[in-house]
Amino acid sequence: MQSRAPGYFELLKRRPAFRAIWLGSVVSLAGDWFTLIALYSLLEQYTGKSEAVGLMLLVRFVPLAVLSPMAGVLADRFSRKRIMIVADLLRALVVLGFLLVRSAEQVWLVYALTFLQMSLASFFDPAEAAAIGSTVEQDEIVTANTLQGATWSAMLGFGAIFGGVLTALAGREASFVVDALSYLLSAFFISRATIAMPVQPERAKTWAGRFGFDDLIEGFKLVRHSPDVRRVLWVKSSWSLAGGAALVLYAVMGARIFAIAGSPEAGVGVLLAMRGAGAFVGPLIARRIGGDGPSFLERAIGIAFLVTSVAWLAFALAPNLPLAALCLLVAHTGVSTQWVFSTSLINLRVEDRFRGRVFAVDTMLSLLALAVSSYLGGRLLDELKIEPRSLMMWLALITVGAAIGWWWLRRPGSERQQKLLGAVVESSARDR
């Protein structure tokens, strides 16, 4: 008989290693959103261009996309705990560098430091995602990923509201200092966790084996020959084709269309806070309705695509801030459901020794799409003078296309594909 999946508080109590990772996420994610609000404010003040926000988002996404494949190899070969701690400590130093930006001539530092910060995140994120799957039992995976996703969302809401308030009252410098402290606290929590090393077969004594290229190729082969894995990887990357430009529009519309009492930070903060609120409740409600079964997770992802597209269309037409904020709340119930449930499906369907690499490929594809989308979104607003509301409508239509692609990919893999997948997994030990 299948055991009952635990509740969220029960899981935190039962699994101290997962609890430590979760506590680290709570503090570091809140600090990250404080910094992002402060950077939106800084770029708006010193450049006044939508393209500057798009470029900053591009710089955030590119290192994650480029470095993630090799970072996934490291997450499957070395201590995931040490990778996370080192990344946190170095990020604490990097974000303090934002304090040096004092004029328009120094804006280039924003992009350089953001690149360094996200380069370190590219090593942290696959290690964290893979570690979660190894610190809980199989029937706890959906609970753990739902809680982790809800935490990301809650910290977005908290960080957007209080980050905007802190930036307005105490200045951007205070937000940067808070973010640095949050990384230090995250490293402390993770240092107290017991996280098992991934079990890997002995590697060939060749340069490709020693430097991880064999592992990298093996991970791509697994994705290539597994239709189920490829379909799950479609979720984040296809949404991101529209999502990057949407993130630019949240900042632009919040600052220029929905500003509160002349304060662009407040308008952006409200929109991002409602984005966080929607992302928080989305997977919680969906899981309450349908449970943890893989078949339900797949159906919920398809429905979530359509919820997002309809809510984005309504956001484009919203006449005032309250309605716009409500639309983003609904939109991100769908977005977060897609992300949390697709992450859970990877943890359920991929062996632990491959997870770091599969999560890295997932990150690479989604962030490449986010990078291109965010940059093009900024250029379309500035160069072609497309109205923000019109661009938002187009993004809603792109998301409908992503939903169609998800359903079209729901085809059973051929017998030959399944045999090839089995060969990839079995040869990982035999051919080394």
- Report, as an integer, the average pLDDT of 201-218: 53
Confidence of residue 261 (pLDDT cuts 50, 70, 90): low
Overall pTM surpassing 0.85 (yes/no):
no
Q: Is the model's pLDDT at 207 over the cut of 70?
A: no
Q: Is the model's pLDDT at 230 over the cut of 50?
A: yes
pLDDT at 383: 78
Q: Is the model's pLDDT at 425 over the cut of 70?
A: no
Question: Measured between alpha carbons, how far is residue 55 from residues 44, 112, 267 in Å?
Answer: 13, 11, 21
Number of neighbouring beta carbons within 10 Å of residue 332: 29
- 319: burial class by Cβ within 10 Å (0-12, 13-18, 19+)? exposed
Alpha-carbon 285 to chain mean position: 20
Contact 241, 366 (CB under 8 A): no
Q: Which of 8-12, 389-393, 421-425 has the highest mean pLDDT?
A: 389-393
Q: Is the model's pLDDT at 204 over the cut of 60?
A: no
- Report, as an integer, the average pLDDT of 49-62: 76
Mean pLDDT of the chain: 81
**SS3 annotation, 362-378:** HHHHHHHHHHHHHHHHH
Could you tell me the residue ranges of all domains in the chain? 8-198+209-427
Q: Which of 20-29, 85-94, 262-271 has the highest mean pLDDT?
A: 85-94
What radius of gyration, in Å, describes the C-alpha atoms of the chain?
A: 21
Contact 53, 248 (CB under 8 A): yes
> Quick check: helix, strand or coil at residue 432?
coil
> Quick check: helix, strand or coil at residue 259?
coil
- Sequence-ordered list of residues with C-beta below 8 angstroms from that of 110, at least 6 positions apart, any chain: 39, 42, 43, 56, 98, 101
Query: Any idea what DSSP says for residue 197?
Result: P
Confidence of residue 102 (pLDDT cuts 50, 70, 90): confident
pLDDT at 422: 46
What share of the chain in percent tops pLDDT 90?
24
> So what's the architecture of 8-198+209-427 in CATH?
Up-down Bundle (1.20)
Compute the distance between CA of residue 149 and CA of residue 235 in angstroms, rounded to an integer: 15
